Amino acid sequence: MTESKAMILGCSGLSLTPDEAAFFRDERPWAFILFARNIAEPGQIRDLVGSLRQSVGRDDALVFIDQEGGRVQRLRPPLAPNYPPGAALGALYRQDASAGLRAAWLMSRLHAFDLSKLGITADCLPVLDVPVEGAHDVIGNRAYGKDPDTVGAMGRAAAEGLLAGGVLPVIKHIPGHGRAFSDSHHALPVVDTPLDELRRHDFAPFRANAGFGMAMTAHVIYSAIDPERPATTSPTVISDYIRGEIGFDGLLMSDDLSMKALSGDFADRARASLAAGCDVVLHCNGVMDEMAPVAAAAPVLAGKAQERAAKAMAPLGKTDGVDERAVRDEFAAFFEAVA
């Protein structure tokens, strides 16, 4: 099998440029991620996904996307319905727990139908962050609720729905982004909450879902643990809390290295994330001048990180065989997806 580097990369447009195809062939990213700029119509998406895999010589190279529902949804009509946000599912859960859990499972099962038709194999869902009053809206209604039990239970149902369709879930943003008072896309959030409260509130949904195969870090400083470095680049947060207290032993990926919460050049960001304990680094925007230093800093995926990657990929493509129309009809009984 071709060796892969410990990185997930994006591309710039609707098809690979010759430079991108050559770069991916030479640098061999482990996986790829798509954004709205990469999405037009079904044939184009399938062609792009095929080109990405061809560039690294691996038919099983994962292709990720953020398909949550609500405002974070890369596939839109007519490619997929506009699905409700996590908060709408959580509201249903608070009225009727079994109905909420079923709706979360069904919506993720529908995501799996939508994605697998296009060759997309991993979804950065569920969001396990628990917002607090006054926190920045970067999470907002993406969350299932404002209490850890709701978020943990609904997140599990969502992850299981994806897996039932052979699509891999990514729990995010470990160990919790819900308390951040700024958007880590634009600034570095600092959370000064005492450790006992973090354990009770923020970490709990991740602890309850620690058995899933992949997780994405939070670009957030937790001053009670490491006042200098965000979770993504903090060996203390990753070793003692994500791996230790929370008990997550799956593949840990950084959040996007191009977000402004991180400092230093792109090689430094990649090295710091990997040195802290991330298994792979994520770079999303497809800008070659940024990807090149990330690739130069990323090692070959090996050892424990490679074992975690292989284990995370084991459920890929294994589906429950349910009828898509029946799932859509059942979901519509809870939420008529807005066209």
Give catalytic residue positions.
Answer: 185, 255
Distance of CA 285 to the CA centre of its chain: 15
Q: Does the CA dihedral 103-138-197-171 come out positive or negative?
A: positive
What number of CA atoms fall less than 13 Å from residue 61's CA on the CB side? 29
Question: Which residue, among 175, 46, 110, 152, has the nearest Cα to 327 in the 3D structure?
Answer: 110
Single out the residue of 62, 77, 78, 178 nearest to residue 123, CA to CA. 62
- Going by C-beta distance under 8 Å and a sequence separation of 6 or more, which residues neighbour residue 157? 101, 102, 104, 105, 108
Burial letters 88-99, b for 16+ CB under 10 A, else e: bbbbbbeeeeee
Whether 327 contacts 107, CB under 8 Å: no
Phi-psi region of 188 (alpha: psi -120 to 50; beta: other; left: phi over 0): beta
Q: How far apart are the first and last CA of the chain?
A: 43
Tokens 């850890």 belong to residue: 148
